[in-house]
Amino acid sequence: AQSVTQPDIHITVSEGASLELRCNYSYGATPYLFWYVQSPGQGLQLLLKYFSGDTLVQGIKGFEAEFKRSQSSFNLRKPSVHWSDAAEYFCAVVIYGGSQGNLIFGKGTKLSVKP
């Protein structure tokens, strides 16, 4: 079955440090890939997306992600974390079943930022 795996449930980084959140997918073809962020009590906000082309995509708030086909990965990175980045991050893929596409989410990685 197709799936999205975020192996880290909770990560803590110091403010100003670099960040990498991991995402792996299991799918036979190249899916459409997304990263969303959710602040407490809020809905999800799109950070960035990959459909095709350049495998390094830039998003909002200084985030970027790199699609690596050989590793079935789409890891999210930020060179310098700010305290306001503390939130939960979700990787998602659009999986095609028949003629329809379903947006499938990983379990999320909660990011804590220490001063």
Partner 1 sequence: ETGVTQTPRHLVMGMTNKKSLKCEQHLGHNAMYWYKQSAKKPLELMFVYNFKEQTENNSVPSRFSPECPNSSHLFLHLHTLQPEDSALYLCASSVGRTDEAFFGQGTRLTVV
Q: Which is nearer to partner 1, 87 or 108 (CB)?
A: 108
Residue 33: name the closest of 92, 107, 108, 90 by CA. Answer: 92
Q: Which is nearer to partner 1, 70 or 99 (CB)?
A: 99
N-to-C CA span, the chain: 41
Least spacing, CB of residue 49 vs partner 1, in Å:
5
> Tokens standing for 27?
């799918």
Q: Which is nearer to partner 1, 58 or 80 (CB)?
A: 58
Query: Which chain residues interact with partner 1 by CB under 8 A?
Result: 4, 32, 34, 36, 41-46, 49, 90, 94, 100-108
Beta strand pairing call for 64-68 and 10-14: unpaired
Q: Which is nearer to partner 1, 85 or 106 (CB)?
A: 106
Least spacing, CB of residue 101 vs partner 1, in Å:
4
Least spacing, CB of residue 70 vs partner 1, in Å:
24
DSSP-assigned states of every residue in 2-63: -EEE---SEEEEETTS-EEE--EEE-SSPPEEEEEEE-TTS-EEEEEEE-SS-SEEE-GGG-
Least spacing, CB of residue 80 vs partner 1, in Å:
26
